[in-house]
């Protein structure tokens, strides 16, 4: 199927993966307004918070308050990140729609990020997945740093596929592949998606890219061409990982939407409203964000504006 015939779901991760690495700690009402604006723009799956220790990630200390303040809509799914059973139990108590679990492809990074080896996180995921299913909560899992580790270097594809086999025992609603530090390239993306699809046929694949080395959008395009079901992105391109050196921002929702819209890929999300939200977010943070569309404008609208100015 060509890209022009495809529908791709964008999962907005700015309220969680975006804000968790920013130095500012936004007030709870501002976070809720951020999410409300994203929904108004057409986003229907949003990663809104993480249920982790507040001393480790103080930006997410108000997880329960955020969930309580969110608009209740039948057409919107809120996702909360959990890393262990305690986090899941906190999430369950809020009535959240879906939980996501991360398993890092390298032991060193998993130890830095979650305090345990990868095998322990896989074990925790299988326990959480079973509990979530019993509670009627959707559960997805993501293999983080699948494209490379900041501590161990290259991650062999065989390592990723072995983890796919293990996490699929939890029957996730979606399987994620994350380039947590932005080292992947398009050919690697294509190869990995094809191999994972052969290993776990039928499971929806979600990709999460960072733009650390300016390959994030190219990797997203390769993922779309390879047939992924959904892509993570962050309004304004904010975020990263507080436990990975130099893991700068997620791919901007703004810039990703422009590329997809111009490529004929249907997302159901309004780019003008995303740009408005990006500009609003900059005001809340008190500084600019990495996204380029709020700066450059939407083509051909910007060309029409220049023509009108020249004619006046």
List the catalytic residue out of 241, 274, 291, 298. Answer: 241
d(CA 120, CA 125): 9
- Please name the residues in contact with 247: beta carbons below 8 A apart, sequence gap of 6 or more: 21, 150, 180, 181, 182, 210, 212, 240, 241
Place domain 3-311 in its CATH homologous superfamily: Aldolase class I (3.20.20.70)
Per-residue pLDDT of 251-286, as tens digits, reads 999 999 999 999 999 999 999 999 999 999 999 999
Cα-only R_g, the chain: 19
pLDDT of 307 over the 80 cut: no
Please give the span between the terminal C-alpha atoms of the chain, in angstroms, as a whole number: 46
Per-residue pLDDT of 210-224, as tens digits, reads 999 999 999 999 999
149 has catalytic annotation: no
Q: How many residues does the structure list for the chain? A: 312
d(CA 30, CA 66): 10
Per-residue pLDDT of 111-150, as tens digits, reads 998 999 999 999 999 999 999 999 999 999 999 999 999 9
d(CA 107, CA 284): 37
Percentage of residues in the chain having pLDDT higher than 70: 92
Confidence of residue 306 (pLDDT cuts 50, 70, 90): low
pLDDT at 239: 86
pLDDT of 102 over the 80 cut: yes
Provide the residue ranges of all domains of the chain, joining segments of one domain with +: 3-311
d(CA 279, CA 227): 31
pLDDT at 4: 43
Q: Which of 39-53, 277-291, 293-307 has the weakest average pLDDT? A: 293-307
């Amino acid at each position: 199927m060509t890209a022009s015939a495809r529908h791709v779901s964008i999962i907005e991760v700015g309220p969680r993966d975006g804000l968790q690495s920013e130095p500012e700690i936004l007030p709870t009402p501002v976070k809720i307004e951020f999410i409300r604006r994203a929904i108004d723009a057409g986003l229907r799956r949003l990663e809104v918070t993480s249920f982790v220790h507040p001393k480790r990630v103080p930006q997410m200390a108000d997880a329960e308050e955020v969930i309580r303040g969110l608009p209740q809509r039948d057409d919107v799914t809120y996702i909360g990140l959990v890393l262990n059973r305690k986090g899941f139990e906190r999430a369950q108590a809020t009535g959240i729609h879906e939980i996501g679990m991360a398993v890092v492809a390298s032991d060193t990074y998993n130890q830095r990020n979650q305090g345990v080896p990868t095998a322990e996180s896989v074990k925790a995921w299988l326990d959480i997945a079973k509990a979530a299913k019993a509670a009627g909560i959707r559960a997805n899992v993501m293999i983080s740093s699948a494209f490379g580790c900041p501590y161990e270097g290259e991650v062999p594809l065989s390592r990723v596929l072995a983890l796919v086999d293990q996490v699929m025992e939890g029957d996730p609603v979606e399987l994620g592949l994350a380039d947590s530090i932005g080292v992947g390239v398009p050919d690697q993306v294509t190869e990995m998606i094809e191999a994972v699809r052969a290993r776990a046929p039928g499971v929806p694949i979600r990709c999460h890219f960072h733009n650390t080395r300016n390959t994030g959008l190219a990797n997203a395009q390769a993922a779309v061409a390879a047939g992924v079901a959904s892509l993570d992105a962050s309004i304004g391109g904010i975020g990263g990982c507080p436990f990975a050196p130099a893991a700068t921002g997620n791919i901007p929702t703004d810039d990703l939407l422009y590329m997809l819209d111009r490529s004929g890929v249907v997302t159901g999300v309004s780019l003008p409203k995303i740009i408005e939200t990006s500009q609003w977010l900059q005001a809340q943070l008190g500084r600019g964000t990495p996204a380029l569309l709020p700066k450059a404008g939407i083509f051909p609208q910007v060309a029409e504006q220049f023509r009108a100015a020249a004619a006046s």
